[in-house]
Every structure is written in structure tokens, then in C-alpha cells.
Amino acid sequence: MITFLKRNVILRVILGKATEKRKVFALMESTMMNGGDSLVADKRNVGVYGGVDDVYGEDCATEDQLITPWTASVASGYTLLRNPHHNKGLAFTDKERDAHYLRGLLPPAVFSQGLQEKRLMHNLRQYEVPLQRYMAMMDLQERNERLFYKLLIDNVEELLPVVYTPTVGEACQKYGSIFTRPQGLYISLKEKGKILEVLKNWPQRNIQVIVVTDGERILGLGDLGCQGMGIPVGKLSLYTALGGIRPSSCLPVTIDVGTNNEKLLNDEFYIGLRQRRATGQEYAELLEEFMTAVKQNYGEKVLVQFEDFANHNAFELLAKYSSSHLVFNDDIQGTASVVLAGLIAALKLVGGTLADHKFLFLGAGEAGTGIAELIAREISKQTKAPIEETRKQIWLVDSKGLIVSSRKESLQHFKKPWAHEHEPVKGLLDAVKALKPTVLIGSSGVGKTFTKEVVEAMASFNEKPVILALSNPTSQSECTAEEAYTWTEGRCIYASGSPFDPVEYNGEVFISGQANNAYIFPGFGLGVIMSGAIRVHEDMLLAASESLAEQVEQEHYDKGLIYPPFTNIRRISANIAAKVAAKAYELGLASRLPRPKDLVQHAESCMYSPIYRNYR
């Protein structure tokens, strides 16, 4: 019996209560009754195994690196090699191979994690098609989790476009065809009435961040239905890699209420519900059940991030749940925060304060109006002017032209604050000529809309026009970096949503910045979690923007950049987390007391480390 337990079940038990003993022995008995197969335990019925909440040994980076690999059971032989949370592949030492019955199951060579990383990067660079790189990275994540995150952290500038925009857009479009192993939770209309039960099917209990989408507005690609799961999976990979949130505490969720995409409905490989989208009461009831179940199952302090919902649902969901749940909409609030940071930094290059500038947006959806509102709040904070006044410096153009007061009655509610007094103007070019903005921001989701005439008009009355082409993926960008620098004769301050290569113009090389939400949401999430915040406040978003802008150094400005490089993203995230947490404590929204003395140091100490553990 002792040999059996040693080979098949390694349970580290800190026995505190008789009830815990009974649960553990019941599991052992269950294992033996199942003929000695490795135990698949339902942790809903199991107490504390190792004296820590983190059953994967993923505690903060300062934790002792010497552990015994286990989840609820296991950790020897073939099963260990198939467990992505503990598998190290060829990095298992000879001693570990003997201790965990791996002899003969691996080739004799022993590789360091660094050598494994070098080999994988060599292999990834052989692929010419970005989607192949994406699939290889997803396969690695399902095979060796720590190596996946080590690879992503150490090569973030090269791999970020692979695991997220722009490649994730193509991955979502083809998700049914490339689907192999399910990631995250799929909650469809079939699960209505039993969502709490579905949440309990997820093996991890200590969830801190949920990213949820209903797939209706994936990037600039439209309704991709159930195949939008690539977005929550990608976002949460960045929460871990860039913000240090433990993988086991992250939960990707897709709410499947159908799709209006005829191509998908007729696609034999489509993986979602084959029906038109549910709307109205049926939709609202499903979301209400989901939000209630999340709070019931994971508690008050789980952060729910809404991702890629269509405008008509995004604003309503954020307004409805922001007072009762810890919720954050990355398209509305995250995009706003990262763009505001870029604008604050750009002031070093163009001069003046935010209040001295005039802003014109192409696009009045959740991204555009979210950015506009945060800019207005920051100007109000700086000048003490009422926000109703500061909004008047910001103008928006939608598909019907400039948003003006004469259109107010026909506007959606989120556009009405931006309906200012002005004669009607139909197109973007006419709006640029009439208003003479200093900053032009694209959030329309429509490519090639910053035409040569529009950009040249901006350059005609601005020495250094600020042009932000934010729409994703690359094909939907309002203009390319090359177009912006060429049409402004190298004078513009340019940033985009998707990355562009450096541009050479008149013998000078211009490096454009990327207004990527990945600068903000990982650090923001870490700050919310480590402070135990119970609600998100607008001032926390302003704090995140200001912190990011502060980290742009003179060497970056000298290159025309308004964002720091991603190479130091974990340090950037730690500083953002510290500012967000400080604001949460200041506002009385933090529940983790007492407040740490050094919040930056505390943030870094909380971060997940992808370095391999040494197994006993």
C-alpha cells in the first residue's frame, strides 16, 4: 500500500482538523478502488493539501523554489509529463527522473530552461505564417506552462503580436478549424439555469481575474460568436506574462448566445450555437445569472473584465454592474487609459497642457467615447473646470458626420455628451478643416480612413500633429506609420493600435509607438488584486495613465516615442499596479490591510515567476 501511494499519489498534507484527514483518506481509498489509476480529484470536496492556497506551486516569486510537484494528486511518470503545470520536458534532472519515475520516458539529454527557450525561438522563427506561430505557442502553453510564459516574457516584443493582436484576430476567424484542446469555459444558452454548476466544473477555486466576451465585436472583425474565445485566452496570457497574475487564478469565459455571422452559421467546422443572436430579456437574464454566479462562487473581489462586447451591450453592462461588482471594460476603460498616457507623454514633444489642445475622433463607439471621457476627466482634474466644459474641447465624427447638437435627438445615449454647437459637417476631411484639431484619433475599426488629404490637412496647421491610428488588427488601421510620416514630412507624433516596422524618411529612421492596452490592463489588474479593491473607480484609471506616462524617458522621446518599450513591461506593470493600489487605498476601496509600505516592491514580490521549480 505504501509503495502504491508513493508511485501514484503524492499528497502533502498539513493535518489541522479531523475532517481534513477524513477527506484525504477518502481520496486515497477512492484511488485504490479505481484500480490504481492516477486520481482525478474534485477539489470542491478536498481541504488544504499543502498549507498554501496555490495548489500549483505558483506562489509569488519570492517563494521557496524547492517543492514537490502535485495538484490534488499525481506527480510521477507519464502523467507528470502530460501535466502542463508541472512538466519541464528535458529540463528534468537525473535526480528528478529517478524520484518521479521518468527514466526511459525522456531522451537522456538534460536541457536547461534557457536552452529549451533558445531551441523554441529558433523553431518559431522558421514559420513564415503568423498563424503557425500562434498555434505553436498555444500548443506550448498546453504542454509546458512555465516555459510558455518564460518564452513570452523574455521575447515580449517579438511574441506579443503572435499571441495577441494582430495574429489573434486571424486565430479567432479560424478558431473552429484550428481548435484542438479546449481552453476556458463556454457558457451558452444551453446552460441557462445552471451557470453556477458550470462554474464549479472549472478545476480551480481561487479565481482572481475573469475575462469574458460574447464574441459580438472581436477587434475590428465583427461578430465571431463562440470563436471569440481566442480573445479571453490571449488577454489572460498577458495578465500572467506582463502583470504576474498566477495562471491558475485566471479564467477565460465565452458567453455563447449565437451569432449573426452567416458565414459561421454555414461553416461545418463552427464550434458554437448555430442560431441567430439572442437579444433583449433572454440575453439580459443569461448575463445576470452569470454575474450572480461569479460573485457567489468566487467572492466579492474577483475582477471581471468585459471584452469585445458590441456597443449596445458594453455600455449597459458596465453601467449596470460597476456599482455591485468589481468590473472593468478594457475596450472602454483600458483603451482610454493607454491613449491618455500617450497624450500626456506627447505633451513633452508638442508642448502645452492637455487643456491647450483640441481633439478630434473618427469613431464614436465604446473605444472613442471611452477615451474622450477620460481625457475630459483628466483636463477637469488639472484645471478644476466642470467636466461639461472640458468635453467641449473634444469632437467626434461617426458614420453620419460630425456629432453636433442638431443631431442630439437621434443619437445613442453614449454619444449625446459630445453633441456640441456647430453647423453640420459630413466627412472627416471637412471636420479637420473646420475644427483645426491638434490631435487626431482613430477608433473607427475601418482601415485607410486617415487619407493623404486628411493627414496633410493636419500637418498644414500643426507643426507636430499628433496622429493616433488605434484600430486593430493591422488591416483596419486608419493609416500606416509610413503613410503618416511621409504625408507629414516626418513631423507627426504617431502611434498605432497594431505594431508597425520602423520607417525611413529622408534619411531619418522613425520608430512609432504602439498604443497597446497590454501596457495598462495587466498592471491595473495586479494593482486591483493586491490591494483587494472591491470596486473600480475612474481615478484608478487616471492613476494608471499617469504612471505609464511617467515611465517614458528622454531616450524614448528622442526617438519620437510616446510609450516606453515593452522590453521592461513587468517593471512598468509593477509601477502601474503600485499607483492603482495607492489610489484604491486613498479612496477607501482597498480591503487588504495594512497597506504595504513599498507598493512597487510589494507588486514585484506578488508576481508569478515562470522559472522552473526544483522537485524533490
* Chain segment 269-312, per-residue pLDDT in tens: 999 999 999 999 999 999 999 999 999 999 999 999 999 999 88
The pLDDT score that the predictor gives to residue 474 is 84
The pLDDT score that the predictor gives to residue 615 is 87
Mean pLDDT of 582-602: 96
Mean pLDDT of 124-149: 96
- pLDDT above 70 covers a percentage of the chain that reads 88
Mean pLDDT of 112-121: 98
pLDDT in tens, 440-469: 999 998 999 999 999 999 999 999 999 999
Report the range of poorest mean pLDDT among 112-121, 472-481, 516-525.
472-481
- Give the pLDDT band (50/70/90) at residue 27: very low
The pLDDT score that the predictor gives to residue 75 is 63
Mean pLDDT of 156-168: 92
DSSP strand pairing (503-505 vs 508-510): antiparallel
pLDDT in tens, 37-76: 332 333 333 322 222 234 444 545 434 456 666 544 446 8
Task: Give the active site residue among 56, 164, 485, 519.
Answer: 164
73: buried, middle or exposed (CB in 10 Å: 19+, 13-18, 0-12)? buried
The pLDDT score that the predictor gives to residue 599 is 97
Is there a catalytic annotation at residue 164?
A: yes
Chain mean pLDDT for the chain? 88
The pLDDT score that the predictor gives to residue 166 is 87
- Give the pLDDT band (50/70/90) at residue 83: very high
d(CA 302, CA 421): 43
Indicate the residue type of 321.
Y
Strand order in the sheet with 466-469: 401-402, 394-398, 359-362, 439-442, 466-469, 493-496, 513-514
* Rg of the chain, C-alpha, whole Å: 25
The pLDDT score that the predictor gives to residue 37 is 32
Is there a catalytic annotation at residue 384?
A: no
- Give the pLDDT band (50/70/90) at residue 3: very low
Task: Give the active site residue among 88, 150, 235, 579.
Answer: 235
- Give the pLDDT band (50/70/90) at residue 180: confident
Peptide bond before residue 610 is cis, with ω within 30 degrees of 0: no
pLDDT in tens, 490-500: 999 999 998 89
d(CA 347, CA 353): 7
**C-beta separation of 276 from 260 below 8 A:** yes
The pLDDT score that the predictor gives to residue 152 is 97
Mean pLDDT of 259-264: 96
The pLDDT score that the predictor gives to residue 343 is 98
d(CA 293, CA 541): 27
The pLDDT score that the predictor gives to residue 40 is 31
More confident residue, 132 or 66: 132
Inform me whether the pLDDT recorded for 20 exceeds 80: no
Residues 129, 127, 242, 543, Cα dihedral to 10°: -30
